Amino acid sequence: MKWRDHFQSRPLALLSLAAVGGIIAAEHLATGSVLPYALALGAGVMAWRYPRMHWLLLLTLLVFMSLHQNAIQMTQQHPLHNYLQLRTTRLDVVAKGRVEQKLRRNLSENEPGEALFHATEITASSVGKIWNGSTMVRVILEKGTTLPSGEYVMEGWLRLPSAVDNPGQFEEREYDQRLGLVAEMRIKKIVASQENHAGILPLLLQVSERCRQWVTETLSVDLENAPDERAVILAMALGTNEAGAREMKLPFLNSGTLHIFSVSGLHVGIVGLIFWMLLKPLGAPRNFMLTLLIPTLFGYAFITGWQPSAVRAAIMTSVFLCGAIWHRRADMLNSLGASALLILAWNTQQIFAPGFQLSFGVLSAIGLLNKKFSVPFRSLSEPDPYLPKSLLSGWQTFWWNRRREVAGLLSVSAAAWVGSLPLLLWHFQQATPVALVANLVLVPLSFCVLFTAIMTLISGGMHLSIFQILFSNSNLVLTKLTVFSAQCFAAIPGGNFHVPTDFYTPSPAAEITVLRMSAGGAAQHLRVGKKHWMLDVGATDQYAYLLKSFLRHQGVDHLSGMILSHGDYEHVGAAMKVQHDYSVPVIFRSALESWPKNVFPAQALSKSNTLTLGDTTNASLQALVLYPPSDSSIRRADDRALVLRLDLGDFKVLWCNDAGFLSEKTIMETWPTEALHCDVIIRNQHASDFSLLPEFLDAVKPRLIISSNQNFPADEQLPERIKNDCAKRGIILMNQSQTGAVTLKFWPKKLEALGFHGHRFTLTPANP
């Protein structure tokens, strides 16, 4: 069948593609335009007057274009959002409205609570403004606290989520806009609150919370001594995000089976299959059982907290079941098209969610490629064509059925992997070829875990305590086997790897990226050839969302080494996390520094290499230690920070860290002028001292300086004196509060300095 025939026989799939085209077009259309609405009206008239497929496709495209434009106007073009974009400071407000629901569940005590606040009136007395009408706001609460649904009057301050300053960093502002949120609000106090439980939505949310609590307690019976496995069971059954589960997630991610770990379409399908198996022996009519499965699936999605992935899967599965109920021949692509139309009509922003793209991308690939991929396995999965099946023995029939199931899993797994690979590379820069085999083991195991979990719940609901404990402990064994299998597949060499986003473009011989961290923090990534180094690693609380995301974005799976400047937690706090995740073979540190135990345990400290004045790093990284002196007894940590000169091709870089007055004076007294000349200085603002002295600038003669700069606190701000000194000497100053992260690309005859926010400079060798 030709590709054209594929789509002509599947009108709903065609209409869903038209809807996708309309949504994408709306993203690039000037907001506020009435053109889509006018064209949609005209197309509707033509489709009614001349019922042809092309008019219906055009109508669908224009209708979804109009729907998405309306969604954009409710968020990106909301008057409050536009006003906050023009402000550089937060806005104190009093807001009236209703808390709809919690945005996240099972937060640890160290994380702030979050809630969805539907504001009806927001008053900013300080600027004399009032915003009336529907405004969706993310409310940030105190750590470990939540708010029940109800009416509230809140006092606090509004702002937009912080803009992204580093490659690979999570786009929180865009994420909130896709959720329909206009801004985030930090609460000072709740001026008045009146819980209002009237209405269907609050009642449903309360019922959902109680059901989830009961399921959690029932599945946790007799698992008090196995917190990690309990966290995995709850994550697989309910999609919870407990601290233990987050630590256990990594092997599933690296084995390409993350869809097994958290609630996804696979779980909804498995739950539906399990309930079908439980209902079938009752002998009820087929249509009755299929009809009963639909509310069961939505009930499961409801108990999980109405997670988008579960809702999408429930809708998709229900479309398939409706076809079977009405005795219509099931067609996967056509049913997927109907599901996509329903979901996008409900919320056009869903198309930008990675989960939506993966769900439909994988299932579409299975629908298109499964038959082709099953061809090589036919000789393994089908009996001898010249042997009548009636002559097969019971053992032979059993054997051929098992081979057919394995062959089916292989072909489906291959098609799913092909469908997911482009999206995984685009969103997560990761390829997991081991998933082709891992799914053959972990999908059946996940079925067993969920089946045992359901039997635990049934036993608990019937107060059969003995059976509940029996099933709960059986689930413990199955979960341990599932986690162990995921760890084994994740450990296979070459089974998973990251691909840099710019792998298709030429790369220079060396490259440094100076990340923009929060106040007092620092981390730089250096690549020399195919070797990757970290120069400081930042604090622990910035590791997961900033540094690790950046390294994934760069396609880094292994680090050749780390250099840690001094014992400032904001510079080196994440050292052991980096060591654990990237198995760093070489660590250099200052010989004079007293390292805190939470940064360097005694065992790790003994295996690291020390650096002092005049030392060089005899590894893939060539660096000369200019400071501190070997006999120093300096008290302040910032004055003990390593200062290195990196020689990278035709250029030299001075890595200054938090160096201040004492460091710079000592360097100038210790080293001859020719040893100090550098093209680039990378520095952080010394918290309590003068730095970048005029005489130091004259000695080093840099042409480019990359400097941290924080608006708060005041001692982390870049002084005006330094800006003026650089301007007088013609030195390019890249202020990271304006440029964001800065990447230095060392080409044979030039050096490119690229700011994350678009700043760009080029240097040529000083002495060609």
Per-residue pLDDT tens digits for 121-169: 999 998 999 999 889 998 888 766 667 777 888 899 999 988 899 999 9
Average pLDDT over residues 228-243: 82
Whether residue 69 is found in the same domain as residue 38: yes
Pairwise CA distance, residues 80 & 184, whole Å: 11
In single-letter form, the type of residue at position 378 comes to R
> Is residue 707 domain-resident?
yes
pLDDT(59) > 70: yes
The percent of residues above 90 in pLDDT, for the chain, comes to: 31
The helix (H) or strand (E) run that includes residue 755 is: strand 750-755
- Tell me, yes or no, whether 697 and 734 share the same domain: yes
Q: Is 121 helix (H, G, I), strand (E, B) or coil?
A: strand
Residues 69 and 94 grouped into a single domain:
no
Average pLDDT, integer, range 321-350: 85
Q: Give the model's pLDDT for residue 513.
A: 97
Residues 6+ apart with CB under 8 A from 638: 566, 568, 657, 658, 659, 660, 686, 687, 688, 689
Label residue 457 by pLDDT band (50, 70, 90): very high
91 in the same domain as 49: no
Lowest mean pLDDT, pick from 76-85, 642-651, 711-720: 711-720
On whether residue 289 sits in a domain, the answer given is no
Query: In total, how many domains does the chain have?
Result: 3
Say whether 716 sits in a helix, a strand or coil.
helix
Q: What is the 3-state secondary structure (H, E, C) of 252-308?
A: HHHCCCHHHHCCCHHHHHHHHHHHHHHHHHHCCCHHHHHHHHHHHHHHHHHHCCCCH
In DSSP terms, 150 is beta-bridged to 99
Instruction: Please give the mean pLDDT across all residues of the chain.
Output: 84
Residues 65 and 101 in one domain: no
pLDDT reading at 196 higher than 60? no
Residue 184's nearest CA partner among 160, 167, 208, 205 is 160
The highest-confidence range among 207-221, 269-283, 470-484, by mean pLDDT, is 470-484
Q: What is each CA distance from 83 to 122, 127, 651, 666, 709, in whole angstroms? A: 13, 11, 45, 50, 25
Q: Distance between CA 417 and CA 424 in Å, rounded?
A: 10
CATH number, domain with residue 654:
3.60.15.10
Q: Give CA–CA dist 549/547, Å, rounded.
A: 5
Q: Model confidence over 615-635: pLDDT tens digits?
A: 888 767 888 999 988 776 777
> Per-residue b/e over 573-604, b at no fewer than 16 CB within 10 Å?
bbbbebbebbebebbbbbbbbebeeebbeeeb
Whole-model pTM: value is 0.85
pLDDT at 192: 66
What do you get for the CA distance between the two ends of the chain, in Å?
A: 63
Which pLDDT tens digit goes with each residue over 632-647? 677 777 788 899 999 9
Task: Determine if the peptide bond prior to 628 is cis (ω within 30°).
Answer: yes
Q: At residue 764, does pLDDT exceed 90? A: yes
100, 145: one domain: yes
5 has a pLDDT exceeding 70: no
Q: What's the whole-number mean pLDDT along residues 388-392?
A: 66
Do 31 and 142 lie in one domain? The reply is: no
Q: What is the pLDDT of residue 1?
A: 46
Asked which of 149, 165, 196 is the last residue of a domain, the reply is 196
Residue type present at position 155: E
Mean pLDDT, rounded, for 245-261: 81
Are 32 and 159 within one domain? no
pLDDT at 399 > cutoff 80? no
Residue 674: which of 761, 766, 753, 764 has the closest Cα? 766
Please report whether residue 130 resides in a domain.
Answer: yes
> Is the domain of 155 the same as that of 10?
no
Give me the sign of the Cα torsion angle 280, 284, 288, 293.
negative
- Out of 49, 74, 99, a domain closes at 74
Instruction: Check residue 484 and give its pLDDT.
Output: 94
Least confident of 236-245, 318-327, 529-538, 556-565: 236-245
Interval 573-619: pLDDT, tens: 898 899 888 988 888 888 777 766 666 665 666 667 888 888 888 76
* pLDDT higher than threshold 90 for residue 704: yes
> Rounded to whole angstroms, how far apart are CA atoms 274 and 269?
9
pLDDT of residue 392: 66
pLDDT of residue 270: 86
Q: Does residue 715 register a pLDDT over 70? A: yes
Domain boundary among 143, 174, 196: 196
Do the Cβ atoms of 744 and 511 come closer than 8 Å?
yes
Q: Which domain does 623 fall in, by range? A: 500-763
> For residue 599, is it within any domain?
yes
Which percentage of the chain shows pLDDT scores above 70?
Answer: 86
CA distance 315 to 268: 10
- Is 92 found in the same domain as 30? no
- Identify which has the larger pLDDT, 504 or 330: 504
Let me know whether 180 and 42 are in one domain: no
**Which of the residue ranges 368-382, 676-690, 723-737 has the most confident prediction, judged by mean pLDDT?**
723-737
Three-state secondary structure call for residue 429: coil
